[in-house]
Structure 1
Amino acid sequence: MKYQIIPVTPFQQNCSVIWCEKTLKAAVVDPGGDIERILAEVTKLGLTVEKILLTHGHIDHVGGAASLAANLSVPIIGPHEADKFWLENLVKQSQNFGFPRTEAFEPTQYLKEGDEVSVGEQTLSVLHCPGHTPGHIVFYNASSNLAWVGDVLFRGSIGRTDFPQSNHQDLLHSITTKLWPLGKNVNFIPGHGPMSTFEDERQHNPFVADQLFD
């Protein structure tokens, strides 16, 4: 699985274009905005986008999804249905966070724990990881040992839990029981900031390092 990270919106959210090298079929993960930049990158890479994938319902991750889906005539897949209220509340989200007015939308398909999503001949496993939002999901590609974790985990930090229906203990539980079992050598792309590995976070992250739970 290949990928290109495209930071979008004033929040510098890590949108990812991901693709199968063999087929050049692609997906766009969390297109929060700046869809012209995303489309330009897709064209430059010579890819055919099959779908849009969403980790959760916050506007910096989904603000450009409906427009991009309409432009490319592709479905929107994810997040988990527990984030439906965030997607229904996009007009207010856009006002609260200073984004262009963004209308509510319904994804083509919600996802749940254990689902799989194809990108060309590659497969992404779906993990339901509530805490930052109740319907947050993570995408994991076993063949490249790579995870797209949205705002669950960052290098040296974890997602905020001061939003409606966020829960700090749920977030810690998601990280330690859903992500860590995937293996220490997994690389992950967070929703913001630089990439890291689960091993580095288990050693050094002040919120979820292993020694905190011994």
Structure 2
Amino acid sequence: MEWYQLPLGPLQTNCYILSNRNNSCLIIDPGEEAEKVFRYLNQKKLKPAAILLTHAHFDHIGAVEPIRAKYSVPVYLHTQEKKWLTDPVLNGSRLFGMGEVKAEPADYLLSGNQDLSIGEFTFTVLETPGHSPGSISFYFQEAGLVASGDALFQGSIGRTDLPGGSHETLLKSIHKKLLVMPEETLVLSGHGPVTTIRQEMDSNPFLNGF
């Protein structure tokens, strides 16, 4: 599997495009600037199979609708945030003065930790709440990578002062769901550079002494 990091929008939210040998791909967190996503897909001749959302804050969902409309692909989201795509108050766009970011409801709602297959892709959905109540991570064990959304960053963790956030819950999520992965696992974070489980275990100041 190949992956590509594409920072989008004013907050430079990382969109990830994961592709296989047959040019099928998954799009994770298309935050804005759909034309940049289209350009990459066209360049690589990729065919999207689905849009996966780690959570539904405005900076992770801004390009959902144009991508879904163009490629007729389903959107996956945790059930606790099922109303957020349509509600600018819940997704935070109104709160942060970013206009009203909206999308149609998700096609599939996820709950619990589960293995999921979409086309030729098989991966594990892990509930990692704390940054938001419905935050999830997507673990591709064979590829050795996890898309953690805004749970875990290089040298930091997600903010927990937004509605539904919890610092204690986030730390529990990181320790029980992410740090138990093989240390060489790549962490594809929602913002900033890619890191590894080992690096965060060794040097992330927010995780020391938990």
Alpha-carbon deviation of 1:94?
2.8
Residue identity in the other structure for 1:138 = S
1:129 pairs with 2:132: no
Alpha-carbon deviation of 1:118?
3.1
What's 2:16 paired with?
16
More helix by share: 1
The TM-score with structure 1 as length reference comes to 0.92
1:67 pairs with 2:66: yes
2 CA distance for matches of 1:115 and 1:74? 21
Alpha-carbon deviation of 1:181?
1.4
Q: How many residues were matched structurally?
A: 209
What's 1:57 paired with?
56
Residue identity in the other structure for 2:142 = S
Gaps of 5+ in 2: none
The answer to whether the Cα contact below 8 Å between 1:151 and 1:158 also exists between their aligned partners in 2 is yes
| Identical amino acids, percent of aligned pairs | 37
Once structures 1 and 2 are overlaid, which stretch shifts more, 86-95 or 23-32?
A: 86-95
**Residues 45-101 of structure 1, C-alpha deviation per residue, up to 9 Å, x if partnerless?**
1111111110001010011112210111111112x1112243242267333334353
2 CA distance for matches of 1:119 and 1:44? 23
2 CA distance for matches of 1:167 and 1:85? 20
1 CA distance for matches of 2:176 and 2:11? 29
The answer to whether the Cα contact below 8 Å between 1:91 and 1:104 also exists between their aligned partners in 2 is no
The answer to whether the Cα contact below 8 Å between 1:76 and 1:107 also exists between their aligned partners in 2 is yes
What's 1:90 paired with?
88
Matches within 5 A, 1:161-172: 161-172=160-171
Change (3 A) 1:141 1:169: same
Alpha-carbon deviation of 1:203?
0.7
**Residues 99-153 of structure 1, C-alpha deviation per residue, up to 9 Å, x if partnerless?**
3532342100011233333354331210001100000000010111100000000
Residue identity in the other structure for 2:180 = P
What's 1:112 paired with?
111
1 CA distance for matches of 2:119 and 2:80? 28
Gaps of 5+ in 1: none
Alpha-carbon deviation of 1:24?
1.3
The answer to whether the Cα contact below 8 Å between 2:82 and 2:106 also exists between their aligned partners in 1 is no
1:47 pairs with 2:62: no
What's 2:197 paired with?
198
The TM-score with structure 2 as length reference comes to 0.93
